[in-house]
A and B are shown apart, each in its own frame.
Chain A
Amino acid sequence: MVQLLSTEQMAEFANSGCLFFDGLIDNETNKEFLNDIGHTDIENVDNMQKYFQNIKASSSIPRIPAGTPLKNAYPHKSPLEKIFQNEVVAGAINSLVGSEAVVDHQFLHLTFPTKYFKKTNQRQMSQVNHQDSTIDPRITFDIQLFYFPTDVTKEMGGTRYHPGTHLRIVNEMGIAKYQNIKGQKNIVCKAGTIGIFHNGLWHGAGVNFSDEIRYMFKVRLQPTEKQELLWDPEKKYKPLPNKALYWTDENQEKTVNDILMKSYPWQEADTNRLDKINTIKFWRMLTGNKNLDIDYWLTRIENELY
């Protein structure tokens, strides 16, 4: 039985563009994954490309043609099949991209430690900020599921990401000039953590200053059905009524609308308002409610009488 996301988790995803499930996958499966890829100590690795080629040649990670249904993608009883069959992982996927999602691509990211760069006399640099693939103005969205088979400490330079950037339409590395962005986060997590990013979320890999190889297995999934109320098949979600604007009530409990309207420190004063408008439009799509509004942002500008 899969565990679909809650409305609050969906609102968190709509607002921030990401969700995390810390230490979700059990240690036995994590070890199985690492054994399967032939994880070894960095002292035993002379060449990054050769190490990666060995993983491709000997692990159970299959070659998956783009567009393959996720349900047929991974070998029976392989660690990756177990991960995708986890009830929380399967529930999150079904909630966001449906039960008939297809694999766009997969990639095992390897981030080598300083020792390797010293040994091979190479400059060790972080990956620049980017948005994956290319300019993507669709309303439909894909997800990128990240699996971390080991603990990721701060010094390991876990994936850097910028919550709330996913609805900004940019051209891949066109954002590389932003070296640092206020509120940037780096993934620090326990082994077995699963992260799910909206395909538009700005991100990049950090520098690995530890002595261990850092792994991150990524799969991009594409929906084949409309992404409306997939997390709420009984259609219980009802928008909240309008509230009095600029009339704060400290005692009021946090609502789904508060989650949706959260701001981030990197947002410009003017464009932040457009980010809110775009989040409401995104929430309209996810809920299938074309008239829904929050804090009157869309009602105000849709009141066109001429």
Chain B
Amino acid sequence: MTKRQKVLVLYLKFPSLEAEVISWATFDGTGQKLHMTGDSDEPPYPTGLDALLDGWRLFQSSQAIPEHPGEEFRTSYLKHEFFFEKIEEGDF
């Protein structure tokens, strides 16, 4: 038996886990499923909290960084990023 990590990245509508998922990515270290860009139109969970309720462990979230003076209205990457993991055991 070996252990493998599955990673779920959720981008939320505002910086709280109760917020709606607006973007998502999954990386499966067990090799059971190959995820890729554009492979699903519906998020795996409606909110970040729903991912916790399904056993995903949060291990990183984005910080609140004040906008640079003079560039307050510049928009760029999605802001509210949350990384989750699940450790799976098996014969991979």
Contacts and interface: CB of A to CB of B under 8 A. Distances in A.
Contact of A184 (B38, B76, B77): B38
B36 A268 contact: no
Interface of B: 9, 11-14, 19, 21-26, 34-41, 43, 73-80
Given A186-B38, A266-B23, 8 more contacts: A126-B38, A128-B37, A160-B37, A169-B74, A177-B25, A180-B24, A206-B38, A268-B79
A169 B25 CA distance: 21
A176 B37 contact: yes
A269 to B, nearest CB: 5
Interface in A179-214: 179-182, 184, 186, 204, 206-207
Contacts of B21: 182
A169 B62 CA distance: 19
A168 B75 contact: yes
Contact of A180 (B12, B41, B80): B41
A207 B36 contact: yes
Given A128-B37, A265-B22, A178 B75 contact: no
The 6 A-B pairs of least Cβ separation, nearest first, read A179-B25, A181-B23, A160-B38, A269-B14, A126-B37, A168-B75
Interface SS, B side: loop
B76 A170 contact: yes
Interface SS, A side: loop
B14 A268 contact: yes
A175 interface: yes
A274 B73 contact: yes
A2 B41 CA distance: 38
A180 B75 contact: no
Contact of A181 (B9, B12, B22): B22
Contacts of B24: 179-180
B23 A180 contact: yes
A275 interface: yes
B37 A127 contact: yes
Contact of B23 (A176, A178, A207): A178
A278 interface: yes
A160 to B, nearest CB: 5
Q: Which of B14, B37, B73, B80 has the most CB of A within 10 A?
A: B37
A179 B21 CA distance: 13
B76 A180 contact: no
B73 to A, nearest CB: 5
Interface string A95-133: 000000000000000000000000000010111110000
Contacts of B35: 179
Given A168-B75, A169-B75, A179 B39 contact: yes
A302 to B, nearest CB: 11
Given A177-B9, A178-B25, A182-B21, A271 B36 contact: no
Given A128-B37, A160-B37, A268-B13, A178 B78 contact: yes
